[in-house]
Every structure is written in C-alpha cells, then in structure tokens.
Amino acid sequence: MTRRMNIAFFGSSLVSAYWNGAATYYRGVIRALHERGHKVRFYEPDAYGRQQHRDMADPDWAEVIVYPGEGDHHALRMVEQARGADLVVKASGVGVFDALLERAVLDLRGPRTRVVFWDVDAPATLDRLAEDESDPFRALVPRYDLVLTYGGGRPVIDAYEGFGARCCVPIYNALDPSTHHPVAPDVRFGGELGFLGNRLPDREARVDRFFFAAAALLPQKRFLLGGSGWQDKGLPGNIDYVGHVYTADHNAFNRTPRAVLNISRDSMARYGFSPATRVFEAAGAAACLITDAWEGIPLFLEPGREVLVAEDGEGVAAHLAALDAERAGRIGRSAYRRVLAEHTYAHRAAQLEDLLEGRDSVVARTETAA
C-alpha cells in the first residue's frame, strides 16, 4: 500500500493558465494525487500578471501559497516552510527564482524527504545544458533523487542520464475528465480548423508552416486562432483571432470547429514523445485532432483512426478537404475512448506512486519510447 505523502510543489502557477502552458498539467497531476490521498502545497510566485488573470479559485484539492515575485528572501522563506515534506518538487519554468530554488530545495533532502526536479520543458532545459558547460544546473542534476519530465521518451532519458541524473522518467501529459470533456458547440468558435497556442519564438515558424499556410490554401474556409501574443501579426481575412481563451472555454473551442490543430514547439518536435496538453484536451472533448508529425505519436493515439497527422500546411489542408462531419466525429470519439482507457491523470498519478515505491510497473510507460 502506498504511503500517503505531504508534497511541497514549487511551480509557475496552479490557479492561472495565463502565459503558463503547464497549468493544465499541474492541475491534472495534483488533483489526481489528492484523490489518491496525498496532500499537496503548491508554492507559486506573483509574477507575469498571472494572479491578475486567474481562471480558477484556490482549489479544495491543494493548498496554494502565493509569494511575492521579487526578493530572494521570499522564495527562501517558502523553501524553509516546505521543510519536513515527504516529497519536494522543483518544477522547471517557474519564471522567477528558478536558479535559486534549484539550489535551495536540495538542502531539504534527508532520510524522510526526497527532492525531485520535474521538468515541464525538458527539450529546452537539455538544449541549454548542452550549449553552456558553465550552466550551474549541470552540477545539481546528479543531486536530485529523481528527474521527472512531462515528455521526451528515450532521447530525453538518455540526455538527462548523460548529465548524471540518478533516474529520469517521463510522466506524460494526460486528460483530467472532470475538466476537459465533450460539450455542446459554441457559435463563438465555429469554423473549419481551430488552433490554440500562445505566440512563442520556438513555435511561431511552425505555426506559419502548418496553420497559416493551410489557411492560405483554403481561403474560402474559416480558421480560428486563440492564444496570447498574436494581436500584432497580420492575419488574412479567413482567420478569426479570439485572443486568450480561458480554461473554462477550452472544451467549447475544441469541440466546435470541424477539427483542431496541435503544433509542437521546435524542440519538442525534435526530441519527440512530447505530446502537448492540448492533445489530451482535444481528445477529452472528443474533437477531431490534426497534429504535426513527431516521433512517438502511436504511443498515445493511433494515426488515421484516433488522430490525423500532417507533415506541413499542405497536409493539413488536404486532411480538411477530405474531412466530413461523420469522419471527424468518428475520429474524435475514438480518441476520447483511447485517452479515457490509457491516458488520464489517474493513470499518471498511479505511475508516480509506483515509481516512488520502487514497483517495476513504472517501466511499462517508457519501454515503447526506447
């Protein structure tokens, strides 16, 4: 039987998805851990306007502690407050105090406390470490009891172990059925293809290649763009920009268009085995998903039956041209059944418990990524 843990989690934000792509992942994992009897304190800084753009109140399945986003002493006080936890997690990409927290949480290690680095953007971290031999995190990697990642498969495991990690295991993105599920269509999000994603330097060229190129090839069809940062990009007349889409509207955004598009960031596509949260959000809404091509897709969804895969914008346009409502619905329903059976956060929480308790079944989630 798994021992119930007190977990201290240092991350970007649990209560706001604003400029915070890991929010859905954090929520799914932490809610599932709570449902399995664990107690989580989530420490997040007041930074990047996230507290001003909250999309949820403090949940009853975690204690959220917001601390000032300026002044090292505030972050160090939070670390000291976490002393005595059974498990301490430092997530990547907090956005402020990252280097400080990466060092400080290691002082909490002890006979009753394990300290984990949980990388929600392993490709970016690993590229950074490879390019800079003086990066101070290089020396810290071997000191963590465990490195977890939310994607990457064997390439990421090998890279982290190459930097001295004692153990590296992917805990992949998944579905929280209580948050992402089928809903009725919403006229605000009607169209042929929807894409939801913030404008990021590591993805914009791929968005041009897959989304904007497809829209240019099908000027008579309506395309839908959601996410922050696109307001000053010149948009053709057949693309409607709806701005930041709050989590409460994700189901309707995914469910309403004929299909929705996933576009990986450059680094995640290069490493493979890195499904974004939107893959599972879309499947959870029983949406017909088109994704850019990356290694490892069949580990999560079967191409042609549960997801459509495109190599470029021409491929996206070709899928749309051949996609009628009946087939789109069939693909969406098949994806929905698959993720409920294999890819919920309940599955991921059980995997984490197995890993921490030393049970061999954790290997099952990574063996196909080898």
For residue 224, is pLDDT > 80? yes
- Which DSSP string corresponds to 184-248? ---GGG-SSEEEE----TTTHHHHIIIIIHHHHH-TTS-EEEESSS-TTS---TTEEEEE---GG
What does the angle CA 264 – CA 176 – CA 172 come to, to the nearest 5 degrees? 45
Q: Which of 54, 73, 72, 76 is nearest to 64 (CA)?
A: 54
Longest dimension (CA), the chain: 64
- pLDDT at residue 359, as a whole number: 74
For residue 260, is pLDDT > 60? yes
pLDDT tens per residue, range 169-183 = 999 999 999 999 999
pLDDT tens per residue, range 61-83 = 999 999 999 999 999 999 999 99
Q: Do 6-174+345-369 and 187-342 share a fold?
A: yes
pLDDT band at 268 (very low <50, low <70, confident <90, very high): confident
Q: Which CATH class is domain 187-342?
A: alpha beta
- pLDDT at residue 319, as a whole number: 98
What the block records as the tokens of 168 is 């590296």
pLDDT tens per residue, range 314-336 = 999 999 999 999 999 999 999 99
- For residues 171 and 151, give the distance between their C-alpha atoms in angstroms, rounded to a whole number: 7
pLDDT band at 1 (very low <50, low <70, confident <90, very high): low
For residue 309, is pLDDT > 70? yes
pLDDT band at 85 (very low <50, low <70, confident <90, very high): very high
What the block records as the tokens of 334 is 């098949």
Homologous superfamily of 6-174+345-369? Glycogen Phosphorylase B; (3.40.50.2000)
Say how many CA atoms lie within 13 Å of 137 toward its Cβ. Answer: 21
- The answer to whether 303 and 329 have CB atoms below 8 angstroms apart is no
- pLDDT at residue 3, as a whole number: 84
The mean pLDDT value of the chain amounts to 94
pTM, entire model: 0.90
pLDDT tens per residue, range 347-365 = 999 999 999 998 744 444 4
Residue 247 corresponds to which amino acid?
Answer: T
- pLDDT at residue 365, as a whole number: 43
Tally of CB atoms within 10 A around 267: 18
- pLDDT at residue 66, as a whole number: 98
Percent of the chain with pLDDT over 70: 97
- The answer to whether 209 and 313 have CB atoms below 8 angstroms apart is yes
Q: Where are the domains of the chain?
A: 6-174+345-369, 187-342
Mean pLDDT throughout 28-50?
97
Mean pLDDT throughout 230-259?
95
- For residues 24 and 38, give the distance between their C-alpha atoms in angstroms, rounded to a whole number: 19
Residue 4 corresponds to which amino acid?
Answer: R
For residue 22, is pLDDT > 60? yes
Using CB atoms within 10 Å of the CB of residue 167, give its burial: 0 to 12 exposed, 13 to 18 middle, 19+ buried.
middle
For residue 369, is pLDDT > 60? no
- pLDDT at residue 202, as a whole number: 85
Residue 295 vs residue 368, higher pLDDT: 295
pLDDT tens per residue, range 115-146 = 999 999 998 999 999 999 999 999 999 999 99
